[in-house]
Copies of this chain bind each other. A is one copy, B any other.
């Protein structure tokens, strides 16, 4: 029941596939059943230790458990061992050992993913990259910086504080930047600054056989290029299934002179979405435009001690010069008022603004607080803007019909939204209802020319839906790319693509 995104029949089939794979592995010894044993195990561990030291190879249950799960409901599948390399050469040497012994490799950043991306479904070796936490090259005049995988979004922005620059992509969690590249993350201000796809200039990667490559050539950082196949964007969003990201070169932006946030309540979802479309059409370079439905607003009010009207609501943020802000706000206010929106409630000072966005980022916890003791599952669909009102209205009806609690929050400027379904993990019947609901929601998005995942990635949960979304021919192309770059299926196996039919 935990594998969301699969209908019960296909879920069982996928389990059967896994079982058959496992049996084949045991019977043919193509791969060790879980990990090696006896002398071979000793030799592997000894090789790992010679590469990253005694402290860099951990086998304890607690450490393995901690590295086998993310923030989703997907079942924790701990790896057999966790290694902690310090540099790309160590990652490469470790990968070579894994390659020689055909051991799965699962990269681990901060474990803040939402689709089971770090779950070691076939066991293997988790590469925790937390010891690689250097900011290696900051070029202020060129608006770029290079970071290792242990550097998080907040750590980078703290480092940049006095430079007048920042890295705006903000998925909410304080994720590692290389992990964000791996899952093609985005978040609240993608409407203005783009997603990781638009903001990664170069990647250093270790491939399945330990080879080190640079997707745009070693040390290169042109702001644009048309030099050959776009390897950078092939690896951005590949969720560790094609290689381990060991460095990311990112675009930076000038910090806006001023920022101001506002909250606006609407009579209906349609009014809020119409306001969004018209604001974009008017060319307002809005930095964030976040939708919260009545259930979400009520949850945020309770959790963060706020008192916004319990109706569909937009949280807005404007970036620019003082003068430009006035104009952006005035244009947007005219638009929202013409769509029945209430007067803006302001958050101009940094403290009030941070409180507002903290409330938005705490939506997850606010949702959980609606039913203490429960867990949350965040759906993640994205549709063309014009289809948002219909899909949100239909989804709210679906939730009510199926007696589910699911506040809705969305990056409405991109047509991307999440339903944070709160569920009792000990109630299999409710889990089943949630599972069916999330499938219906994804299929509703697909029927409206959208995607089953706007920013969380495919991981374990959306492999079957990805097949429906892409069609069998495009999936074959994806499988061909995977087979080329990782012929033995060692890199984060079982993610993005369903196991091949036997």
Chain A residues packing against B (C-beta within 8 Å)? 139, 141-144, 164-165, 183-186, 190, 194-195, 197-198, 207, 211-231, 233-234, 236-238, 242, 253-257, 277, 280-283, 285, 319-321, 323-324, 327, 331, 382-386, 414-416, 446, 449-458, 462, 466, 469-471, 473-475, 477-478, 480-485, 496-497
Contact = CB atoms under 8 A, between A and B. Distances in A.
B382 A496 contact: no
Contact of A234 (B216, B233, B384, B455): B233
Given A223-B415, A229-B242, 4 more contacts: A141-B385, A223-B384, A254-B282, A483-B484
22 contacts: A141-B384, A141-B386, A144-B384, A184-B226, A195-B226, A197-B224, A197-B230, A212-B473, A215-B474, A221-B384, A221-B449, A222-B450, A223-B414, A224-B382, A227-B458, A228-B478, A229-B237, A229-B481, A230-B234, A230-B237, A283-B319, A323-B323
Given A139-B386, A141-B277, A462 B414 contact: no
Q: Which of A220, A277, A282, A452 has the most CB of B within 10 A?
A: A220
Contacts of A165: 281
A238 B229 contact: yes
A213 B456 CA distance: 24
A152 B470 CA distance: 28
B219 A449 contact: yes
So how many copies of this chain end up in the complex? 2
A220 B449 contact: yes
A452 B484 contact: no
A382 B242 CA distance: 28
A384 B481 CA distance: 31
A234 B229 contact: yes
Contact of A217 (B190, B194, B213, B471): B471
A454 B222 contact: yes
Nearest to A457: B226
A265 to B, nearest CB: 23
A230 B233 CA distance: 6
Nearest to A384: B142
The list of the 6 closest CB pairs from A to B, nearest first, reads A233-B233, A142-B384, A184-B226, A141-B386, A222-B382, A225-B451
A449 B142 CA distance: 11
B186 A224 contact: yes
Contacts of A283: 253-257, 319-321
A222 B384 contact: yes
A214 B471 contact: yes
Contacts of A497: 228
Interface centre among A190, A198, A256, A481 (most CB of B within 10 A): A481
Most buried by B among A185, A195, A218, A470: A470
Contacts of A237: 226, 228-230
A255 B382 CA distance: 25
A223 B471 contact: no
B450 A164 contact: no
Contacts of A452: 227
A450 to B, nearest CB: 5
Contacts of A255: 283
B231 A474 contact: yes
Contacts of A475: 228
A324 B323 CA distance: 8
A242 B469 CA distance: 22
Contacts of A456: 226
Contacts of A321: 283, 327, 331
Nearest to A283: B254
Contact of A474 (B184, B213, B458, B482): B213
A455 B143 contact: no
A6 to B, nearest CB: 16
Nearest to A191: B223
A141 B493 CA distance: 40
A477 B213 contact: yes
A194 B223 CA distance: 10
A167 B286 CA distance: 19
Instruction: Tell which of A323, A477, A483 has the most Cβ of chain B within 10 Å.
Output: A477
A270 to B, nearest CB: 12
